[in-house]
Amino acid sequence: MPSRPREVRCPGYRRRDPTQSLLYELLREHLETFLAELDAHPGLALPRFVKRELRGFLECGVLAHGFARVHCTSCARDSLVAFSCKGRGFCPSCGGRRMSATAAHLVDHVLPETPIRQWVFTLPFSLRLRCAFDHELLAFVRRIFTRVVFSYLARQARAKALPSGALGFRSGAVNIVQRAGGSLNLNPHFHAVFIDGVYTRATLLGPARFHELPAPEPADVDWTLARIHSRLRSLFERCIDTEQEFESRETNELLLHLASASVHGQAATGDGNGRALPGLFTPEPDPRPERDSPKPSCSLVLLRIGRRATRFNK
């Protein structure tokens, strides 16, 4: 009896169904009522960009809101691919896809074949709310963090008596702002991958040569953190408003209230408004202004990633 040819199965495209998730059900049930209630109170409306993100999530990946028809030449099947919202702040699907695409781009086209180390820098509670609202300030903080780590790497290279060549010691980094902490609390902080060494050139147009550096010791991390801290302190003393000026400048009171509650781990609405939420995370017991703090309350976490960054599947 002739054997039947094996069926060639193409994995094809499996459509996700966002409408089955708890988050989707929650928003579908309550979003418009919630927004209408807020709109009924003058001064409590959420900004347009927040409403746009939330409503966009309810349309993301749902065929009723538009789709493309794609054809697979291997199995000759057609599939419907729903349009996505391309949101940057709320939609888990679009956020996850952007994260994977960015990681694949960095690994394939940006990061060199050198050791890479991740540096994570977090801010004290007293600075988080301001940095979350003021992107120029956040950019300053990011620049300080990046430059100090570069100067640490150059210092290590000098300590090893490496020849600095025609252009001095150069390194490289990709520094990404993450706005949420582990409990989805508002916590702007930085995840950066740094080349774990320095490049030099013997002559101006000569080839770049890489020098690997030893892993940082706790004393090196202390040195780096103390330097970041002192620069941050002078930045904040020099060029930002007082707490009162900052709060009067921010016009959307509701957003500021929600953000402040999120930073400090407190309930923001209802009867429990202002109540601490210790189950989610434990904030500093009494957030004090940074200038009163004798010790740096920022923190640095380091992680060696290896000779190659881990590759994401595209």
Question: Residues in the site for Zn ion, rule: CB under 5 A?
Answer: 10, 12, 60, 72, 74-75, 84-85, 91, 93-94
Tell the smallest beta-carbon distance from residue 50 to Zn ion (Å): 15
Give the span between the Cα atoms of 185 and 23, in whole angstroms: 17
Q: Which is nearer to Zn ion, 98 or 201 (CB)?
A: 98
Rg (CA), the chain: 25
Tell the smallest beta-carbon distance from residue 229 to Zn ion (Å): 38
Pairing verdict, β 197-201 and 299-306 = unpaired
Q: Which is nearer to Zn ion, 79 or 164 (CB)?
A: 79
- Cα dist. 93→12, 57, 77, 83, 90 in Å? 19, 9, 25, 12, 9
Tell the smallest beta-carbon distance from residue 23 to Zn ion (Å): 12
Q: Which is nearer to Zn ion, 60 or 153 (CB)?
A: 60
Joined tokens for residue 150: 């570069």
Tell the smallest beta-carbon distance from residue 85 to Zn ion (Å): 4
Tell the smallest beta-carbon distance from residue 87 to Zn ion (Å): 5
Q: Which is nearer to Zn ion, 75 or 303 (CB)?
A: 75
- Cα dist. 212→48, 135, 162 in Å? 49, 34, 11
Tell the smallest beta-carbon distance from residue 105 to Zn ion (Å): 19
Element (H, E) at 253: helix 253-263
- Cα dist. 44→40, 56, 173, 252 in Å? 8, 21, 41, 8
Give the span between the Cα atoms of 230 and 228, in whole angstroms: 6
Joined tokens for residue 166: 């025609």
Q: Which is nearer to Zn ion, 56 or 265 (CB)?
A: 56
162: Cα within 13 Å, side-chain hemisphere = 27
Q: Which is nearer to Zn ion, 54 or 198 (CB)?
A: 54
